[in-house]
Chain A
Amino acid sequence: MRFWLILPLLLTSCELLDLQIPEPRNCSTAGSTADLSGEWVIKGVGDRKGCDDSIWDGSFELGPSRALRVESTPTAGTMRDLALGDSISGFQLNGHTEGSCVDFTTSEAVEGGTVSYAFQGGAASTSNVAGTFTSTHPLGCIVEGTFEVTIQP
């Protein structure tokens, strides 16, 4: 009974402290791991804040990316590794899948450093992955957003 009284207070406190409560991932590590090999196109929307120069603050669109040739190869257990099939100068993609859970990172050389995104999502099918992303940024921004990957086998 007491817990239900305190819960709204806790939630309000988190909001006041600007704490982020991670949304549960819509995926499961149980079950078979899908082969997500194919041509990936990543797109999404995000928000940057706290950038060194305020002109970078605010919402932005991520992608659509170039068509990325990604290969999914089985590793130990039920996991599969994700990597670029064709290398792209200044750009890297690495990750893994387990069940329907997909985790991958990209990094790209830009003027002044490297911008990296960390994606966490779930595969609804072998042609679609959706989830959230965060970023480490050469411009000092705090970045978060949602994404979707369309996969052409």
Chain B
Amino acid sequence: MRKPSFWILSFVLISAIPKTSAASQQSWVVLPVRAIGVEASTAETLRELLASGLRQQLNAKLVGGALTPCADMPCARAAGQRVGAQFVLMSSASRLGKKTIVMATVIDVVRGVQTSNQRMSVERVEELDTVATRVISAIAQGTSADKTAQLGSITSSEERPDRRRKTTHSAALRIGGIAPVGAGYANSVGGGMAFDLSYFFEARHFAIEPRIGIRFDAIRGSEGYLAIPMDIGFYYILGLGDVAPFIGGGVGAHFLWDERQLDTQLGSTLPATATKLSSQTAWGFGAFARLGIIFMRTYDVRLAATVDYEITFTTINGAENPQAIIGGLAVIL
């Protein structure tokens, strides 16, 4: 009975033997690169790089002969049959403005089918080395070249961020009033003031608005309320002119403080009753719906008139889900 270390050592040694047996080698032919607006020397260098990659990554046996560039599969297959290759790598390098586009196609000569088709573009000819490595890796892995990116093999066009459509973004200040609805907000003790400070990201037909606000009662007396909503709003803007209606809503976290006279009773045959000024705070998930109109939309300073319906999903001083209507006027700077 041999020790386990013997088998581990054997496995390591066997694994280390290079897989170069002639029986497993596939025969490939790399056709000359079809150059369109690219120097012949560059095209030949690319061909050499592709051939080198096939040898290194696929352990390919390369065959050759008098070959010409091909643009279609019948031409490539015929070339492969002439030289007795199992696979043909047909490629092109095309100039498009500042970019060089490299396309590579693998043809299975026996079956007459295309087994891989790769495309990459570079802005500097020096990057063709990287392109050749990535294209051969993609062929070996049966994937596309853009999925073979690794540190050290990123091309300059890949490292540049994608272009995006621009939005305008501005700070906004809203001033308005709050009218509680139902038993929330100190049992709807009365109206109050509302202020919002927000950032307004505006595209042609939509806007996104993170905001923090404060609402408080404007009624003298022992009862009162305070609300601090922190939301993100999403709006659809219905027009591109100077008067543009919009509709939307948002969600976030709301903080509430509520102080009210509470009458409590426990039991009826022997009731325990109390009246007290109860003060509570609560956090809750909040949501709001908004209707509004943006005025002077074509200017960099805009005005927005809004009406919101706000709700906070919590219970405070025995009142469930405080709700309110908030009207306001915002200046978007």
Contacts and interface: CB of A to CB of B under 8 A. Distances in A.
Contact of B270 (A54, A56, A106, A139): A106
B22 interface: no
Given A55-B280, A56-B266, A60-B274, 6 more contacts: A42-B270, A54-B280, A55-B317, A62-B270, A66-B270, A108-B268
A136 B264 CA distance: 17
Interface string B261-280: 01010111111111010101
A91 to B, nearest CB: 4
Contacts of B142: none
A11 interface: no
Interface string A33-74: 000000000100010100001111011111101101000000
Interface residues of B, number: 16
Interface of B: 262, 264, 266-274, 276, 278, 280, 317-318
Contact of A63 (B270, B276, B317): B270
Given A54-B278, A61-B274, A115 B269 contact: no
B159 to A, nearest CB: 59
Contacts of B280: 54-55
24 contacts: A42-B270, A48-B274, A54-B278, A55-B276, A55-B280, A55-B317, A56-B266, A58-B274, A58-B276, A61-B274, A62-B270, A62-B271, A62-B272, A63-B270, A65-B269, A65-B270, A65-B271, A91-B269, A108-B268, A108-B269, A108-B270, A110-B267, A115-B267, A117-B270
For the complex, would chain B's binding face be called helix, strand, loop or mixed by DSSP majority?
strand
A55 B269 contact: no
A60 B273 contact: yes
Contact of B272 (A54, A55, A90, A115): A115
A88 interface: yes
A55 B266 contact: no
List 10 tightest A-B contacts by C-beta distance, closest first.
A60-B274, A65-B270, A91-B269, A108-B267, A58-B276, A55-B278, A60-B272, A66-B269, A62-B272, A61-B273
